[in-house]
Amino acid sequence: MQKILIDKFIVPEESKAPFLERALKVQSLLKTLPGFVEGFLYEKRDGESRYNYMTTAVWENEEAFENAKKTVATEFERQGFGLQETRRNLKIASERAVYERSPY
């Protein structure tokens, strides 16, 4: 069963450029990992949601998803990148959930 990681973000206007720069770097890494199916970055243009950005990453299965989490954590550590610290400094709030999807 495919695993879908969905992250929703509240990004202040002044933090959009650094947020998008980091998001593109992470997405470039994710696309190279085994089991990656597809991913998208969404920017809200209209509507009621408090979240103005959302990212999705689809993985073939649980194993691919778990391996991707480990790889990203290792890469962040290698780069000296602190995710929580960066989000705090940029005043970015986020919410994360993992889903399984099936066709309808």
What DSSP state is assigned to residue 57?
E
Higher model confidence: residue 80 or residue 98? Answer: 98
Determine phi and psi for 35, rounding to 5 degrees: 90, -5
Dist. CA 56–CA 41, nearest whole Å: 7
Domain tally, the chain: 1
pLDDT band at 104, cuts 50/70/90? confident
101 domain residue, yes or no: no
Residue 55 lies in a domain: no
Q: pLDDT tens across 44-66, in order? A: 999 999 999 999 999 999 999 99
Specify if 100 maps to a domain.
no
Strands laid side by side in the 3-10 sheet: 36-43, 53-59, 3-10, 93-100
Question: Rounded distance, CA 102 to CA 84, Å?
Answer: 32
Rounded to whole angstroms, the Cα distance separating 73 from 67 reads 10
Domain presence at residue 37: yes
Instruction: Tell me the residue range of the domain where 36 lies.
Output: 3-48+61-95
Does the pLDDT at position 68 exceed 90? yes
| Predicted model pTM | 0.89
